[in-house]
Structure 1
Amino acid sequence: MSGIPFPLEQRFKRQCPCYNMEKERVIVVSTIYPSALTLNSTFAITAPSSGVPAPLHYKIHKAKSQLEMLCAHVIIGETVWTQQAARSSSAETRANELMAYLTDPAIDAIMPPWGGELLVQVLPKLDWDKISKSKPTWLIGYSDSSTLLCSYTLQTNIASAHATNFFDLNMEALDGTTKQWHKILSAPSRNHVVQHSSPMYQSSWDALFELENPVGFDLDSNTEWKSTTSEAVSFTGRLIGGCLNTLTTIAGTKYAPIKKWRESFEEDTIVYLEWLDWCTAETYRNLWHLKEHGWFEGASGLLFGRPSRSEPSEDYDDVQMIHEFAEEIGLPIIFDADIGHMPPQFTMINGSLATASFKDGKGTLTYLE
């Protein structure tokens, strides 16, 4: 969709036997979509989490050149070029640069160079009221960037795009799954746009970082989606999610009002998550944390990406944990999907209505608006 769909306010009756019309009034709204990307679009690159160390600056220049083939202007912020103490710069500097881009009507999309560790420091320093009243802007990225994306959508109802990072664009021959991000965000309407599971994925970043100028991801393993059901499964809902490592930090805070956001829609949700560098027990604890904060209430199903550098806790592994967690919450889970730190990955639009489907080791994500 292009433009901004106007909010629709009405009452509706939820399909629930405990519904009480005298007590409940729900405002039904439409997700606000930034305008479709075009060849005249302007991108701003800023580092609200980690910046890029000097030895890798040449890759930022390459990524800029690659992106300029798809748009009119690419602006590189000052925060991109610095990195110290696990962040690009002070929280104030990062917030100020991000705010300048988010409230500039000339900016159509914002991409961090990559993720990091401390984006959460920026959230309290943003003027969220001003952001919500500004022109909707595409926020694009993953990893710690999903902390910003998810909070942006939950607080403003503006769609955001969990997809490849700007840094990855330095590679000249990206695979078909990764390259879909621009096609999807350029579409006047995404209704019936389908993403298919990739044929191969990258199991480790080690080989890629040994190369000075790789042309694409090191796709060395066969992709196989899985499910907690014994047969084909599909479920429909509004997408919300990101990196579990960072989203668990904002769950239960004012920066992630998921209950208020969820209740503004008639549809169910699909919560998608991915994680890295955790043992199985730690992953479970963080999923439990989200459950206790209501993240899976009103969901039709969950979609998990491939865990990166995950280790079992004694004889307790991720597969067992995921199956048990599906029973615990009473929802189907599709896992090992193309999401997150083991590329390639789908473009997941927070706030958008979609259907996730699984059958025989393969999967699709179909947008419905």
Structure 2
Amino acid sequence: MVRFPAPLQPGDRIGVTAPSQGVEGAAEARIDFCVSTLRDAGFDVVVGEMMDGSGITSGPAAERAAELTDMLCDPAIRCVIPPWGGETAIDLVDLLDWDALAAAEPTWLVGYSDLSTVLLPITTRLGWATLHGDNLADTPYEAPAGLLKWLDLASGPGPHRQRDSGLISEWVRFEEDAHATEWKRGSTGQWSLHGSDSLDVSGRLIGGCIDTLVNLAGTPYGDVAAFGREHADDGLIVYLEAAEDEAATICRNLHGMRLAGWFDHARAILIGRTKARDNARLTQRDAVLDALGRLDLPIVFDLEIGHVPPHLPLVNGALATVTFDGDTREIVQHLR
């Protein structure tokens, strides 16, 4: 059974902490603006101690794990969000107080990129729904037509309907405008479907960033096979995106995740749009097909679910229906 946090409402308290990389330099002005944006929307925002941006992480792993645990267990805090991802959040997953978390009521944990490393085990081990969407630094950006903001999904059970935006955007550099609220328009693009002419499939969502999640595969913190068995009646829709790793590395990683049982109960696979490098002999798309094409599952490519904005937020554990038929390209999420 998936446990969904209470709907997030204005007046609720949001905790900000950096389980991975902290904040320094020009980024400080951006994060200050993002905190102010949430406060202007009526939320009570508290910023933790683990925010130092001078190193690869915001502080020692034990201290980061303790602050994240405390925020998630504090009944006054209804949502926790990091400034952004980073590189090595994996160093704290076994330091979280899992017993305390299991005894607590679910709290929204929001983020993506390196935060996938924490979002996924919170869902697979505790059964809490988690929200793969914007980090704090991206929260002020307006959602283009067809997409929702993560705050929309966290505010109620749905149905939350999103469709192919047709857009490929770019971030505004903090040095250029720390108060940006509109993505830079880049070009256009659409979802594409492999393995079928049309698609109408439902299942429980689970996934995140390949570059970081592969390191959890085969461990107690990345047991998607067990999560799939638990939800075998619903089936899974596994969503994944490549951040930076080049295509041959992504290919190896996906094979490893396949061998660890990540797709044993999948009914479909969603792949995010990426700007990660191709290999001289292998494209990113072909890397996915090399590893997962043999599964005879429909694969939807080029969703707005990763490191290429704009962003389509997904809830780990939500019951979702993906439809791809003619001009209809949409995903509907029910938080139940």
TM over 0.5: yes
Contact 1:225/1:362 (<8 A) preserved: no
**Does residue 235 in structure 1 map to residue 210 in structure 2?**
no
CA separation in 2, counterparts of 1:245 and 1:218?
A: 25
Question: Alignment partner for residue 60 of structure 2, among 63, 66, 90?
Answer: 90
Counterpart residue number, 2:177: 212
Counterpart residue number, 2:11: 40
Counterpart residue number, 1:135: 105
Range that drifts further, 175-184 or 327-336:
175-184
Aligned pairs for 1:319-330 within 5 A: 319-330=285-296
How much does 1:259 deviate?
A: 2.5
Aligned pairs for 1:174-213 within 5 A: 174-176=143-145, 179-187=148-156, 189-190=157-158, 192-202=159-169, 204-205=170-171, 208-209=173-174, 211-213=176-178
CA separation in 1, counterparts of 2:207 and 2:98?
A: 20
* AA partner of residue 240 (structure 2): L
**Does residue 157 in structure 1 map to residue 127 in structure 2?**
yes
Counterpart residue number, 1:61: 32
Counterpart residue number, 1:281: 248
CA separation in 1, counterparts of 2:87 and 2:161?
A: 32
Structure-1-length-normalised TM-score: 0.85
**Does residue 347 in structure 1 map to residue 316 in structure 2?**
no
How much does 1:209 deviate?
A: 4.8
Contact 2:238/2:266 (<8 A) preserved: yes
In the alignment, structure 1 segments of 5+ residues that lack a partner are 1-29
CA separation in 2, counterparts of 1:163 and 1:129?
A: 26
Q: Deviation per CA, 1:79-111, whole angstroms, max 9, x where unpaired?
A: 12x123311111121111111101111010000
SS in 2 for 1:194: strand
SS in 2 for 1:79: coil
Counterpart residue number, 2:300: 334
Counterpart residue number, 1:52: 23
How much does 1:297 deviate?
A: 0.3
**Does residue 100 in structure 1 map to residue 65 in structure 2?**
no
Q: Deviation per CA, 1:105-159, whole angstroms, max 9, x where unpaired?
A: 1010000110000111111111111101111100001000111111100010010
Contact 1:226/1:361 (<8 A) preserved: no
* AA partner of residue 7 (structure 2): A
Contact 1:224/1:362 (<8 A) preserved: no
Contact 2:15/2:80 (<8 A) preserved: yes
**Does residue 318 in structure 1 map to residue 284 in structure 2?**
yes
Cα RMSD after superposing both structures = 1.8
CA separation in 2, counterparts of 1:243 and 1:341?
A: 9
CA separation in 2, counterparts of 1:283 and 1:362?
A: 29
Q: Deviation per CA, 1:186-206, whole angstroms, max 9, x where unpaired?
A: 12x22x32111113122x54x
CA separation in 2, counterparts of 1:216 and 1:258?
A: 36
CA separation in 2, counterparts of 1:246 and 1:115?
A: 10
SS in 1 for 2:63: helix
Q: Deviation per CA, 1:300-334, whole angstroms, max 9, x where unpaired?
A: 010000112x2222232123333344431221110
- Give the 3 Å change call, closer, same or farther, for CA 277–334 of structure 1 in structure 2: same
In the alignment, structure 2 segments of 5+ residues that lack a partner are none
* AA partner of residue 48 (structure 1): P
How much does 1:360 deviate?
A: 4.5
Contact 1:34/1:138 (<8 A) preserved: yes
Q: Deviation per CA, 1:248-302, whole angstroms, max 9, x where unpaired?
A: 0111111122222222222110110001222211111000010010000010010
Contact 2:4/2:129 (<8 A) preserved: yes
- Give the 3 Å change call, closer, same or farther, for CA 71–252 of structure 1 in structure 2: farther
SS in 1 for 2:208: strand
* AA partner of residue 105 (structure 1): P
Counterpart residue number, 2:116: 146
Counterpart residue number, 1:358: 324
SS in 2 for 1:249: coil
> What percentage of aligned pairs have identical amino acids?
32
Structure-2-length-normalised TM-score: 0.93
Determine which structure has the larger strand proportion and give its number. Answer: 2
Counterpart residue number, 1:116: 86
* AA partner of residue 177 (structure 2): E
Q: Whose Rg is larger?
A: 1
* AA partner of residue 315 (structure 1): R
Q: Deviation per CA, 1:227-251, whole angstroms, max 9, x where unpaired?
A: 1135222321100000011000111
Contact 2:200/2:321 (<8 A) preserved: yes
How much does 1:57 deviate?
A: 1.2
CA separation in 2, counterparts of 1:180 and 1:174?
A: 6
CA separation in 2, counterparts of 1:31 and 1:210?
A: 41
